[in-house]
Amino acid sequence: MVRLDVNGRQHELDIADGSTPLLWVLRDQLGLVGTKFGCGGGYCGACTVHIDGRPVRSCLMPVSAAEGVAVTTIENLAAPDKTLHPLQRAWIEHDVPQCGYCQAGQLMSAAALLARNASPSDADIDSAMRGNLCRCGTYQRIRAAIHSAAKAINATGGES
Amino acid sequence: MKAGERLARDPNIRAAFREADERLNSAWERVSRRTFLKLTGLAGGGLTLAACSVKGTDPVSTEPGKDYEFNEFVNVGSDGTILIYSKTPEIGQGIKTSFPMIVAEELDADWNDVVVEQARIDTAVYGRQRAGGSRSIATAWNQLREAGAAARLMLRRAAAETWQVPVDECLTANSVVTHEATGRRLTYGELADKAAALPVPDKAELRLKARDEYTLIGERITGVDNEKVVTGQPLFGTDQSLPGMLYASYSKCPATGGRVAAANLDDIRALPGIRDAFVLEGNDLVSELMPGVAIIGDSTWETQQARAHLSIDWDETDASKDSLSSITAEAARLSKEPGAEVLYEFGDVEQAFTGAARIHEAFYSYPFVSHAPLEPQNCTAWYRDGAIEIWAPTQSPDQAIGSVANVLGIPREKVTLHVTRVGGGFGRRLMNDYVCEVAAIARQVGAPVKLQWTREDDMAHDFYRPAGYHALRAALDTSGSLSAWQDHFITFTHDGKAPVRGGDMRPGEFPEGIIDDYKVTQTLLPLGTPCGPWRSPRSNAIAFAVQSFIHEMANVAERDHVDFLLELMGEPRWLDPGNPRAMNTGRAAAVIKLAAEKAGWGQPLPEGRGLGLAFYFSHAGHFAEVADVSVDADRKLTVHRVTVAGDVGPIVNMSGAENQCQGSVMDGLSTTLGLEITIENGRVQESNFHQYPIMRMHNAPIVDVHFIQSDYPPTGLGEPALPPLAPAVCNAIFAATGQRVRTLPLSKEGFKV
């Protein structure tokens, strides 16, 4: 039995193998398929979730290690009333996605960045987003959208 | 059958290229004629209905909450919602937004009223439903405009009937029909019931808009699925889920063509969470079903973990034995020879070289590369009562249906395929091997099942962009103009007769048609590794060799590269008159000039920094790019900026169009910087992104995109901005350092990125 706190909801799951990556528990057991499988080795960042607010590659995290911490996935990046996170709005305004497969992971990494650095420079962004591959090459728009979202957050005096 | 012969006769690989290579001729006309015949047929059946509802001038009484079908693309709801079907898979090229924009433009729909859904797969109704060859816009342009215009005319006629005024006085804008003289207006939603019942107009009755009447085409429209993408909704193939669904893995021989001699299936079946394990023999087609072991379990993780315990004895009698190290050595040896066969010869090349003022030679090569879409191959299927339903991330759904029918030995009508959003195509998903695998597995399992490949599966079982080798030789005349061109092209063959698909030099490859004395010879090396279409097939590689060598010739002539190229283009003309997908030297010259101007060509730059330019024409698109590159003392390479100038006719969605160009530059740069697939004993050596380093954000340059929106019919943008990137960067490296790069990727040539 594994107890998980995912997006503020408590789950008791019948999982015999505690080494099962959190990614597959989210996707196959909880139906939270917004978190993506890209490589299984922590190279691409498509599976990025927040563990107590920090960006973590869920394909490498054993589910046993996710007990007693707060797991947040892309499905919970918007506010409970469905108001989009400023990053999600910026992603739409800048028309960032091409195929879109990496974007959940990109957004989770970007959200963790803005939570600790409200006005990141290009270098800060490049460094924070280094773990997230975009095979379609939307990097320029991701950078621009992060700057836009940072401005929007700062203009409203903090979290939206 | 030997690995190579099997690949040579593979009909799906042939089909993937055949269609992409087809000239435009009247592809869209064929489609549109068939579609309109069908529409006319439908209208005939609907006439009786129409006669009842249209005769009188009753007030419009659209039933609330209903949808009315105007044609296969347009539905209008009584609430004013305009549903537009997008007929082609969305693979990241933005077609699910740009196609409906074309319909909405001619419909005069308010974009805020538009919702978009993926059309069902029915090529008898929709014509081409494939994402490949940058051909979607060109082939569907008139079909989509006519669908929108036909629905609009029906709405105007319904309003005219209602108001008893001439149709010509009923004008449309923003989903509303108005009659100016009387100030009356009806929304599309209010008119939908009456309008949809009218006969479908004849094609000759439609008046399509002139470009200056466009209000939507050319605007920046964000992707219609973007909100779903950024909130993590289930859109992709791998996100599909069915009640009672099981999970599958499939293990094939790492050397293409190996068969299962023995496997410890009983051990696997005893593992926790595993329901079954079995061997599939396959049908000997690499693009459909090759032999392997399927493992069925209760979760993705359990089926993947079980593979660690799987022990398979492979019979590799007929498997690929390819070794890249031997191939490379053989190609280098062959480059000194004249070439086994003459592929193209125009003018008198020998004579031209004899009379030349200067002759220059160089040997270029480029590696095998993988597609590596970020969503690994996967597919979900449910086989019941002799029929199968499939949820597939595929670029070629119609071909997938045929392949599944072939593998299962059932009629096409028994195969229902739903296209999901595709997490990256790049040509990989024109092949439907993973679709066929899950189909065969589903029949054996008797329950809904999802097959999930790992990244390692994906990299090991691709249809790779073939490597290639060019021994180039060119001449300058006494005035420093390019006067002769010779290329000994060393490529691969599966059957000893024809070059592999994607490793074949097609007629009209630049600079054919530009230089009078021109000759290409070809030598074929045997290959058992599967090859397939990779974004801008052939052009993505040949452009590197050809456009780098043209820069070399400009330097030998001590002339400015832009002047040298513009002189080559000469007077504006079509190189294949009458073929609208051919190169036009005037369009070429215009994009070269624009790229040079926007990039600040000729400006002084600091030591170690340089601009490099390259032009290429492919997929009916004319593109020139300038890369701004610096190389420091440690040979660390920085690409600061890439300026893109392109002409693909009118732009449909400016945001999507720029995104495709930016993406093509990133893809081209990523590949140029560090990507290579190596093969030993038939086995691909790279397994995941640590060995196949797709470019990351910190290496991403600024990409400036500029379009010349000429009046020629619009063509596609998924591919043609990619080929000029590699030579532009390598020409810039030469400008910055004096070092000529003739082998890719750059990371293996001593550059740090």
Inform me whether the pLDDT recorded for B48 exceeds 90: no
Name the residue of chain A whose CA is nearest to B655's CA.
Answer: A95
Are residues A133 and B425, on separate chains, in Cβ contact within 8 Å? no
- Assess B655–A contact: CB distance below 8 Å, yes or no: yes
| CB distance B136 to B716 below 8 Å | yes
Fold of A86-155: DNA polymerase; domain 1 (1.10.150)
| H or E segment and range at residue B679 | strand B679-680
B354 & B432 share domain: no
Range 616-635 of B in CB contact (< 8 A) with A: none
pLDDT band at B19 (very low <50, low <70, confident <90, very high): low
Inform me whether the pLDDT recorded for A137 exceeds 50: yes
Distance from the A34 Cα atom to the nearest Cα atom in chain B, whole angstroms? 4
B432 & B470 share domain: no
User: Which of B142-151, B184-193, B499-508, B641-650 has the weakest average pLDDT?
Assistant: B499-508
For chain A, the domains span 2-76, 86-155
- Assess B448–A contact: CB distance below 8 Å, yes or no: no
Let me know if residue B459 belongs to a domain. no
Domain count, chain B: 3
pLDDT in tens, B421-465: 999 999 999 999 999 999 999 999 999 999 999 999 999 999 999
pLDDT at B32: 37
ipTM: 0.98
Let me know if residue B225 belongs to a domain. yes
Q: How many helices (H) and strands (E) does chain A have?
A: 5, 5
Inform me whether the pLDDT recorded for B353 exceeds 80: yes
Instruction: Name the maximum alpha-carbon separation found in chain A.
Output: 48
pLDDT in tens, B506-547: 998 899 999 999 999 999 999 999 999 999 999 999 999 999
Which residues neighbour B383 within 8 Å (Cβ) at sequence distance 6 or greater?
B408, B439, B442, B443, B445, B446
Inform me whether the pLDDT recorded for B40 exceeds 60: no
| CB distance B403 to B14 below 8 Å | no
B333 & B307 share domain: no
Let me know if residue B6 belongs to a domain. no
pLDDT at B64: 64
pLDDT band at A158 (very low <50, low <70, confident <90, very high): low
Let me know if residue B156 belongs to a domain. yes
B191 & B76 share domain: yes
Distance from the A75 Cα atom to the nearest Cα atom in chain B, whole angstroms? 6
**Which of B452, B476, B508 represents a domain boundary (last residue)?**
B452
For chain A, the average pLDDT equals 96
pLDDT at B20: 60
Inform me whether the pLDDT recorded for B23 exceeds 50: no
Would residue B284 be called left, alpha or beta, if left means φ above 0 and alpha means ψ between -120 and 50 degrees?
Answer: left
Angle between helices B654-674 and B539-556 (to 10 degrees): 70
Candidate from A27, A28, A101 with C-beta closest to B423? A101
Report the amino acid identity of residue B184: R
Fold of A2-76: Ubiquitin-like (UB roll) (3.10.20)
pLDDT at A101: 98
Q: Average pLDDT in the B269-273 region?
A: 97
Residue range of the domain that includes B541 = 324-369+464-749
For chain B, the average pLDDT equals 93
pLDDT in tens, B104-156: 999 999 999 999 999 999 999 999 999 999 999 999 999 999 999 999 999 99
Are residues A33 and B232, on separate chains, in Cβ contact within 8 Å? yes
pLDDT at B713: 94
B187 & B249 share domain: no
B503 & B611 share domain: yes
User: Which of B1-15, B207-221, B421-435 has the weakest average pLDDT?
Assistant: B1-15
DSSP one-letter code for B357: S
Between these two residues, B200 and B43, which has the higher pLDDT value?
B200
Let me know if residue B537 belongs to a domain. yes
Let me know if residue B10 belongs to a domain. no
Angle between helices A139-155 and A86-93 (to 10 degrees): 130
B405 & B540 share domain: no
User: Residue B37's domain is classified under what CATH number?
Assistant: 3.30.365.10
Are residues B231 and A74, on separate chains, in Cβ contact within 8 Å? yes
B478 & B517 share domain: yes
pLDDT in tens, B303-352: 999 999 999 999 999 999 999 999 999 999 999 999 999 999 999 999 99
- Assess B552–A contact: CB distance below 8 Å, yes or no: no
pLDDT at B626: 99
